[in-house]
Amino acid sequence: MISSDIKAKAGELGFDLCGVAPASDLPELAFLREWLDRGYGGTMTYLHRSAAKRADVRRVVPTAQTVIITGTLYNTDRPYSTECSDRGRAHIARYAWGDDYHDVIGARMEALLAWMREQSPEPFEARAYVDTGPVQERVYAQHAGVGWIGKNTCVINPEIGSWIFLAAIICSLPLEVDAPALDQCGTCTLCIEACPTQAIVAPGVLDATRCISYLTIELRAAIPDEHRAAVGSHVYGCDICQEVCPWNAAAPRSADPAWQPRAAWDRVDLLTLAQRQDDELTHALRGSPMTRTRVQGLRRNVAVALENAVLQPGETHGQTSTEERR
Ligand code: SF4
Ligand code: SF4
């Protein structure tokens, strides 16, 4: 079995991109420790716990020689949040509109791995992961030629942009590896300038504790006052730094039914979301990546976004309007 066979099979299974990286001491892997030491991971303590494994996939699969990376386009035909002037519209990150990618991509990765086991004359060791494993997928994606890590920290493929789910198979097979992707950000800084919370503190360095994705998804406590206004109408994640990226200006769209927006989230407004009963929200969250916040977290975010929608420019949270203060 050779890399090109695996890539062809990946294409058959619905993956848009596939590349192979070496399971070696890639220089970018070391930055995670420094990033955590700077406190940029906030309350994501699982990152600290798994930091040693994340530093080298050979701590996960000791015999690993290669990492197969797949990329799956999830962009659909809905406009970008930055094109919407309606302050009452709820913004949900594009990746979360459809079915839970952990389940959908996970099944496809297992199918790819099962096919590899059938094809291989010798048994081999392997583990497949979709996002939740102790693997720095983006670093391996760059070294697998799938795309470069942009200044917005997303992997960008020059053909299809950055609306892609990454997944990895760590394996002991000595496959032919790809050439790393070349950084094509150049002098552009659009993502850094567009970030409403200044979360991209240096090119390719995200202070997650400032990022709306972290504030609306990972953070269990109340969203800090200093960031509430900047959260705007975002009720689950944020796409701004990807939307402004020129490499996504004409991103292709996926016809895969799995990523099409569920009716419950499709161009929904904040008031509608706020008025939904718990059981309606629970039903809509089932099988969706948005289960992470559960109903309670979603309600917290909708409350902040609603307050933002009614605040006048210049007002802050907890500050009543001029009319009310009289
Ligand atoms: S996702 Fe939003 S808040 Fe986070 S870095 Fe990108 S633009 Fe900033
Ligand atoms: S917006 Fe510009 S700097 Fe940011 S990731 Fe895209 S190309 Fe790179």
DSSP per position, 138-161:
HHHHHHTTS-EE-TTSSEEBTTTB
The per-residue pLDDT for range 111-122, each reduced to its tens digit, is: 999 999 999 999
Query: How many A from CA of 241 to the centre of ligand 1?
Result: 5
Residue 180 is predicted with a pLDDT of 98
Report the percentage of the chain scoring pLDDT > 90: 91
Q: Which of 99, 103, 131, 256 is catalytic?
A: 131
Asked if 131 is an active-site residue, the reply is yes
Q: How confident is the model at residue 310 (pLDDT cuts 50, 70, 90)?
A: confident
How many angstroms is it from 290 CA to the middle of ligand 2? 26
User: 325: pLDDT confidence band, cut at 50, 70 and 90?
Assistant: very low
The torsion angles phi and psi of 257, rounded to 5 degrees, stand at: -55, -25
pLDDT, one tens digit per residue, over 18-40 is 999 999 999 999 999 999 999 99
Residues touching ligand 1 (Cβ under 6 Å) are 152, 195-197, 199-200, 206, 211-213, 238, 240-241
Q: Whose CA is closest to atom 6 on ligand 2?
A: 245
**What number of other Cβ atoms are within 10 A of residue 324's Cβ?**
7
Within 6 Å (CB) of ligand 2, which residues are found? 150-152, 185, 188-191, 244-247
Question: 13 alpha carbon to ligand 1 midpoint, in Å?
Answer: 31
Q: Which two tokens stand for residue 137?
A: 């997928």
Q: Which ligand is nearest to the CA of 201?
A: 1
- Burial of residue 292, with CB atoms counted within 10 A of its CB: 0-12 exposed, 13-18 middle, 19 or more buried: middle
265 vs 254: CA distance, rounded Å: 18
User: What global pTM score does this model have?
Assistant: 0.93
Closest residue CA from atom 2 of ligand 2 = 188
Ligand nearest to the Cα of 245, by number: 2
Length of the chain: 326
